[in-house]
Amino acid sequence: MKLLVTGGAGFIGSNFVHYLMYNYPGYEIVNVDALTYAGNLENLRSVEKLSNYTFVKADIVERTELEPLFKSGIDAVINFAAESHVDRSILHPDIFVRTNIVGTQTLLKLSKDYNVKKFVQVSTDEVYGTLGETGFFTEETSLAPNSPYSASKAGADLLVRAYHETFGLNINITRCSNNYGPYQFPEKLVPLMIKNALENKSLPVYGDGLHVRDWLYVEDHCCALDLVLHKGKNGEVYNIGGRNERNNLQVVQTILEELGKPKSLVSYVKDRSGHDRRYAINADKIRHELGWQPAYNYEDGMKKTIHWYLSNKEWMEKVISGTYQNYYKIQYKER
Ligand code: NAD
């Protein structure tokens, strides 16, 4: 199997490349990534010299950059490449439309033209919008995205669906909840809070801190994607989630307790515009149809994650550039 992984230098993509190299040593993996601020080849140091792994720096929007790869024969595509940070989508929505929608269209067209056997679109539960205090998103829940990020992901999902309906492309769409684990860029909640706590800096929490997310250890997401890639039924959507609902304050408290830092480091900052209140996933379909089970509970997964960042402080230092520092200052003005 020759597999094209897009966005494989990012957080989940790089974890998935490691997962594939370990579990499928006979596969040929081609990793295409534009290396935006979120793409980091440091994440892939241990696999880069393996003979069945190739990295290609390319932009998924640009057909000319990708076509030679498709010409060389690709069995399946798994599309992680995206602009992925909601806050950045509020500042620069146009980049999200370009990469997430136009980029997906380029990949779909090439997959159709070169008879790719399977296309997996890695999407998010955020396309469903927000929930009240009860209930869960199922695969039948209507799409009601509230941020430019989630709207661009929903647009991509609809294109993927259309390529199945119109051209018969063999596709799956996965919609996963919030991931945490190694190699996550420290603009996202978990690594940001770990980094700030280690430096005894304030931990910026949006609004009242009671926004609820379902949390899943990234390796469990990779296992789910493995099942979808190999056994997913043509045309189906699969929700992925761990039934680990926690609000942001609870996540921050877990980190402070594990690192032995005081709660006084928490600082409340102005809430994000259009901030969804609660996401919760019903993942019964992938459990029943494909036999997926998460291996990590929230406590164990978080401990493992925190200790990974503790042991990889050098990695953290390397990914934090001057550009990131400026962005961070604009984004997290204290109340
Ligand atoms: P990330 O931001 O860490 O990585 C995205 C990667 O895509 C980076 O390596 C970046 O360089 C690359 N990229 C961006 N624009 C590109 C372009 N035009 N061409 C080629 N490569 C480009 O994101 P992540 O958190 O790893 O998320 C991966 C995917 O999973 C995304 O599609 C995201 O929507 C989805 N997802 C993420 C989560 C989560 O909790 N992080 C949850 C559910 C779904």
Residue 276, ligand 1, Cβ within 6 A: no
- Return the pLDDT at 327: 67
Compute the distance from residue 82 Cα to the ligand 1 centre, in Å. Answer: 4
- Return the pLDDT at 334: 44
Rounded-to-integer distance, Cα 289 and Cα 308, Å: 33
DSSP assignment letter at 43: G
Statement: residue 333 has pLDDT above 80: no
Mean pLDDT of 253-267: 97
Q: Which CATH architecture has domain 2-180+215-240?
A: 3-Layer(aba) Sandwich (3.40)
Q: In ligand 1, which atom is closest to the CA atom of 153?
A: 34
Rounded-to-integer distance, Cα 7 and Cα 4, Å: 10
Residue 242, ligand 1, Cβ within 6 A: no
Statement: residue 237 has pLDDT above 50: yes
Compute the distance from residue 209 Cα to the ligand 1 centre, in Å. Answer: 25
pLDDT single digits (tens) 174-218? 999 999 999 999 989 999 999 999 999 999 999 999 999 999 999
Residue 102, ligand 1, Cβ within 6 A: no
Average pLDDT over the chain, rounded to whole? 95
CA dihedral for 8, 206, 126, 279, sign (positive or negative): positive
Residue 328 binned pLDDT confidence (cut-offs 50, 70, 90): low
User: Is the CB of residue 215 less than 8 Å from the CB of residue 188?
Assistant: no
Nearest CA to ligand 1 atom 5: 10
Compute the distance from residue 326 Cα to the ligand 1 centre, in Å. Answer: 21
In the numeric block, the tokens 């380029």 are attached to: 106
* 216: enclosing H helix or E strand: strand 212-217
Beta bridge partner(s), residue 6: 32, 79
Beta bridge partner(s), residue 3: 29, 76
- Return the pLDDT at 326: 65
pLDDT single digits (tens) 275-304? 999 999 999 999 999 999 999 999 999 999
Rounded-to-integer distance, Cα 301 and Cα 297, Å: 6
- Return the pLDDT at 335: 37
What residues act catalytically? 125-126, 149
Residue 331 CB burial class (10 angstroms; 0-12, 13-18, ≥19): middle
pLDDT single digits (tens) 73-102? 999 999 999 999 999 999 999 999 999 999
* 164: enclosing H helix or E strand: helix 148-167
Rounded-to-integer distance, Cα 237 and Cα 26, Å: 28
Give the residue extent of every domain in the chain: 2-180+215-240
pLDDT single digits (tens) 49-72? 999 999 999 999 999 999 999 999
pLDDT single digits (tens) 125-159? 999 999 999 999 999 999 999 999 999 999 999 99
Q: In ligand 1, which atom is closest to the CA atom of 84?
A: 2
User: Is the CB of residue 209 less than 8 Å from the CB of residue 268?
Assistant: yes
Rounded-to-integer distance, Cα 216 and Cα 15, Å: 13
Phi, psi angle pair for 2, to nearest 5°: -110, 120
H helices within 170-321, ranges in order?
189-198, 218-231, 248-259, 284-290, 298-311, 313-319
- Return the pLDDT at 322: 57
